[in-house]
Amino acid sequence: MRCPYCGHLDTRVIDSRPAEDRSAIRRRRSCDECGKRFTTYEKVETIPLIVIKKDNNREQYDRTKIETGILRACYKRPVSADAIQKTVNAVETEVFNREEKEVSSTVIGEIVMDKLKSLDAVAYVRFASVYREFKDVNTFMEEIKKFLDK
């Protein structure tokens, strides 16, 4: 690993431990040349995932879009930041465990709704109202009835 301070190629690992979300390894390194210390993160490289949108456009998977959607749904709800991150991680894990190179945004939306259903009922209905593009109160009420019946 190249030292970010002096550019020297020889650095050594002083300490390794799992990162907070356990999806990466955090390493403390020391440069043999200048003696300065820095931190690196090592993460498993995943295959690039392509998302097929509703209009059939394709774009690269972006975790922040899922995170933003869930954050909006949970806005002013008694849901902790930790619970939101765990939900985002669970959605991402389920998407990547499909081991497909392309996945429909509809599939991702359904996974998010499934996770939100058990996280917070209001957040679920908020997300569903945007995701399913409710046109009127009747379609909104039908979704709430489906939720209450389960």
pLDDT in tens, 115-130: 998 999 899 888 988 8
d(CA 66, CA 69): 5
**pLDDT the model gives residue 148:** 75
Structure token pair of residue 89: 């991680």
d(CA 72, CA 31): 43
**pLDDT the model gives residue 46:** 66
DSSP class of residue 132 equals T
**pLDDT the model gives residue 107:** 94
**pLDDT the model gives residue 75:** 94
β partners of residue 58 = 52
Q: Helix or strand or coil: residue 41?
A: strand
**pLDDT the model gives residue 139:** 75
Instruction: Write out the chain's pLDDT in tens, 150 residues.
Output: 899 999 999 999 999 998 877 778 999 999 999 999 999 988 876 668 899 998 999 999 999 999 999 999 999 999 999 999 999 999 998 998 888 899 999 999 999 999 998 999 899 888 988 877 777 777 777 777 777 776
Identify each DSSP E strand in the chain by its residue range: 11-18, 24-31, 37-43, 50-52, 58-60, 102-104
